[in-house]
Amino acid sequence: MSLRLHALFAAALLTALAHPLHAQRTLTGTVQDPQGAAVPFAVLELPTHKLGVQADDEGRFSLPLPAGLAPTDSLTVSALGYERRRVLVPVGATVALQLAALPVSLNEVVVRPGAAEWVGFESEPKDFGYGQNGLSKEKNTGWQIARLCQPTTNGYLVAARFFVKPGIHCGKTGVRAPFRVRVYAADGPNGSPGTDLLFTTVLAAAPQKGWVTVDLNRYGIEFPQRGVYVAMEWVYTSDEFLCSYTYTTPDSRQKKEGFSYGQSLAAQWVPEAQARTWYYTIKYGWRKFDSRDPTGQQRVGDAAIQARFQP
């Protein structure tokens, strides 16, 4: 396995490997709006056990329930543009969960005479990159990579772009895997991503290696001088983008089969003090990268994400 993804695969595997629990049953079902339409990519979590899954693009999910659930254990259901809901864990094996849509009023976009500019990642993408390990229909808790982008003054976010490249095992096929675009205010703890600013599901896909630009002008997202976080979220959509590989465990030296999914997001090593990249998993929430590069230097990967700023 390439050194560039050792630490990253470990982070992506937290949800899948940190819970060797014997499931009593599996809860399956759908997440819908009040009219019965599917809510795509909703997230279902058991907060007490720090365990969760993500529904697919048709709102379907499958959540293995751990042994020892208490009668008071609850299930939270959330999705962009919908009210977060918390319910007791259903007693049946199949359930239809409904989420109420949030009233969203988009900001009016006023195009000013100033020239739009790209802000964020400034380096030339190199061999290093972030990838998603273990994502599948059964283990579909994808992670997010977010990069802080700061303009020179207040304005609007009109576009975002990501430098997409083949995953370490999936090659050209993986490049084309759809991913979700996320935007957050820089108001979380310790300057982490906080409030969601993009209230609808926006999917993008790359036809080939290189920059992928996503138009966000219609959403009227304010772009303050303090910046916003733009993120790529890996979402499971098809086994077409799932790739298997063999690796050797460092302790027992046994060969095992692993799975990677989709594309990777290019990055460049930068000194830790310049780091603007955070990652998110259901188990740990938002965390800032702090790891050493393959040479042992205290450097972290600066994600190749840019935001287009319109004053």
Residue 300 has pLDDT above 50, yes or no: yes
- Read off φ and ψ for residue 12, nearest 5 degrees: -70, -25
Task: Give per-residue pLDDT as tens, 66-78.
Answer: 888 888 889 999 8
- Separation in Å, CA 279 to CA 17, 54, 140, 196, 239: 18, 17, 16, 15, 24
Q: Which residues contact 208 (CB under 8 A, 6 or more apart)?
A: 172, 175
Pairing status of strand 179-185 against strand 202-204: antiparallel
Strand, helix or coil for residue 272: helix
Q: How confident is the model at residue 244 (pLDDT cuts 50, 70, 90)?
A: confident
Shared-domain flag, residues 130 and 204: yes
Q: What are 169-195's pLDDT values in tens digits?
A: 787 888 999 999 999 999 999 999 999
pLDDT of residue 69: 85
Confidence of residue 119 (pLDDT cuts 50, 70, 90): very high
What burial class does residue 105 get, using C-beta atoms within 10 Å of its C-beta: 0-12 exposed, 13-18 middle, 19+ buried?
Answer: exposed
Residue where a domain terminates, one of 38, 73, 98? 98
pLDDT tens track for 202-214 = 999 999 999 999 9
Q: Are residues 36 and 138 in the same domain?
A: no
Residues 136 and 91 in one domain: no
d(CA 131, CA 133): 7
Out of 78, 98, 118, pick the residue that ends a domain.
Answer: 98
Shared-domain flag, residues 280 and 302: yes
User: pLDDT tens for residues 258-299?
Assistant: 788 889 999 998 888 788 999 998 888 899 887 666 666 677
Q: Do residues 250 and 179 both lie within one domain? A: yes
pLDDT higher than 50, residue 23:
no
pLDDT tier, 6 (very low <50, low <70, confident <90, very high otherwise):
very low
Assess whether pLDDT exceeds 90 at residue 32: yes
User: Could you tell me if 70 and 206 lie in one domain?
Assistant: no
Which residues contact residue 157 at a Cβ distance below 8 angstroms, ignoring those fewer than 6 apart? 183, 197, 216, 219, 221, 222, 223, 228, 230, 307, 308, 309, 310
Average pLDDT over residues 198-226: 92
Residue-wise pLDDT for 52-106, tens only, equals 888 888 899 988 888 888 888 899 998 888 888 999 998 888 999 999 988 766 5
CB contact set of 117 (below 8 Å; sequence gap of 6+): 151, 308, 309
238 and 132 assigned to the same domain = yes
**pTM for the full model?**
0.77
Q: What is the pLDDT of residue 105?
A: 60
Is residue 236 within 8 A of residue 136, CB to CB? The reply is yes
Expressed as residue numbers, the domain containing 183 is 3-13+107-310
Domain shared by 123 and 262, yes or no: yes
Domains of the chain: total:
2
CATH number at residue 49: 2.60.40.1120
Residues 130, 76, single domain; the answer is: no
And the tokens for 153? 């003054």
Identify whether residues 117 and 251 lie together within a single domain: yes
When the pLDDT of each residue in the chain is averaged and rounded to a whole number, the result is 83
Read off the pLDDT of each residue in 159-170 and give the average, rounded to a whole number. 90
Could you tell me if 113 and 75 lie in one domain?
A: no
Same domain, 8 and 23: no
The confidence score (pLDDT) of residue 47 equals 82
Q: In the listed set 39, 71, 98, which residue is the last one of a domain according to the structure?
A: 98
Going by C-alpha positions, the residue among 183, 143, 135 that lies closest to residue 161 is: 183
pLDDT band for position 140 (50/70/90)?
Answer: low
What per-residue confidence (pLDDT) applies to 227?
Answer: 96
With bands split at pLDDT 50, 70 and 90, how would you rate the model's confidence at 14? Answer: very low
Longest dimension (CA), the chain: 63
